[in-house]
C-alpha cells in the first residue's frame, strides 16, 4: 500500500512539474567548484547502485595523491533505482544525518534512456532527493553513467554508443528540471571507446566497471570537483 501511494504521488508530481514548469538550465562544473572553494575537506555522499561500487574509495585515493581530503560515503545496493532510494528510510536517514557538501545521484542503468520510465520514476526521485540535499546545505549532482559494452540487449541492433547517447540525453533532461550539475563519466567512456581503449573499462559482464573503469570514473569526479 505504501509503495502504491508513493508511486501515485510520484506520477502526479512528475506530470505537474513537466506540464507547468519550464526546464531550467543545467549547471556546469564551475558551480561544483565554486561550492567547494576554500573547503579544507569535502564530504560526499554517493546514492546509487553497483555502478558506484568502489568509486568513493578510489576518489578518496586520488584526492590524497593530490593533497586534498575527501570523505566519501556510499549508500548503494545492486540494481536499485533512485525511486527506490527516495522511499527508503535508511537512505533518507543517511542523507539527513550529516552536513554533506556534495550528494551524488546515480540512476539505474536503463531508466535515463527510457523516456516513460525517466519521466515517471527518475525525474520525481531526482527532485525529491535533490531538495533533501539542498535542505541540509549540500549540492546535488548527477552521475552520468555509460552504455553497456554491447548495447541494451532489449533493443534491436543496439550498441554502446547508441545507448550511451540515450543515457546522456536522459541525464540532461533530468538535470534541467532541478538545474543540477552533471558529472559526465559516460562521456569519458565514450572517448575511450572511440579511441579503441574501452574494452579494459568493463568487467566480463559488459556492464560494470573494472578497476580501470573505477579509476577513470574517480578521475572524472575529481576533475569535476577541483579542475585538476
Sequence length of the chain is 228
- Rounded CA-CA distance 43/184 in Å is 20
pLDDT class of 157 with cuts at 50, 70, 90: very high
On the question of pLDDT at 133 being above 80, the answer is yes
For the segment 22-46, what is each residue's pLDDT rounded down to a tens digit? 334 455 668 888 888 888 899 999 9
| 109 phi, psi to nearest 5 deg | -50, -50
In the structure grid, which three cell numbers stand for residue 148, read together?
553497456
In the structure grid, which three cell numbers stand for residue 64, read together?
590524497
Half-sphere exposure of 170 (CA within 13 A, CB side): 31
Domains, the chain, ordered by start? 2-16+39-226 (3.40.50.1110)
For the segment 77-98, what is each residue's pLDDT rounded down to a tens digit? 999 999 999 999 999 999 999 9
CA 199 to chain centre: 22
> Other CB atoms closer than 10 Å to residue 119's CB: what's the count?
18
Amino acid at each position: 500500500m505504501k509503495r502504491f501511494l508513493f508511486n501515485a504521488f510520484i506520477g502526479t508530481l512528475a506530470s505537474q512539474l513537466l506540464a507547468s514548469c519550464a526546464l531550467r538550465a543545467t549547471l556546469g562544473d564551475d558551480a561544483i567548484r565554486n561550492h567547494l572553494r576554500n573547503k579544507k575537506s569535502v564530504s560526499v555522499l554517493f546514492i546509487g547502485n553497483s555502478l558506484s561500487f568502489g568509486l568513493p574509495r578510489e576518489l578518496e585515493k586520488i584526492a590524497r595523491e593530490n593533497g586534498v581530503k575527501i570523505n566519501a560515503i556510499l549508500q548503494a545496493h545492486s540494481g536499485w533505482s533512485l525511486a527506490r532510494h527516495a522511499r527508503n528510510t535508511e537512505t533518507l536517514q543517511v542523507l539527513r544525518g550529516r552536513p554533506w557538501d556534495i550528494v551524488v545521484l546515480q540512476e539505474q542503468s536503463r531508466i535515463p534512456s527510457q523516456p516513460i520510465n525517466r519521466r515517471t520514476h527518475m525525474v520525481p526521485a531526482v527532485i525529491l532527493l535533490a531538495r533533501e540535499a539542498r535542505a541540509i546545505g549540500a549540492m546535488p549532482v548527477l552521475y552520468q553513467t555509460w552504455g553497456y559494452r554491447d548495447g541494451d540487449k532489449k533493443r534491436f541492433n543496439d550498441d554502446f554508443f547508441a545507448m550511451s547517447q540515450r543515457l546522456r540525453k536522459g541525464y540532461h533532461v533530468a538535470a534541467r528540471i532541478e538545474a543540477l550539475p552533471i558529472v559526465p563519466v559516460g562521456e569519458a567512456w565514450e572517448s575511450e571507446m572511440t579511441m579503441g581503449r574501452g574494452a579494459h573499462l568493463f568487467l566480463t559482464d559488459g556492464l560494470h566497471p573494472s578497476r580501470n573503469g573505477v579509476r577513470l570514473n574517480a578521475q572524472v569526479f575529481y576533475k569535476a570537483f577541483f579542475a585538476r
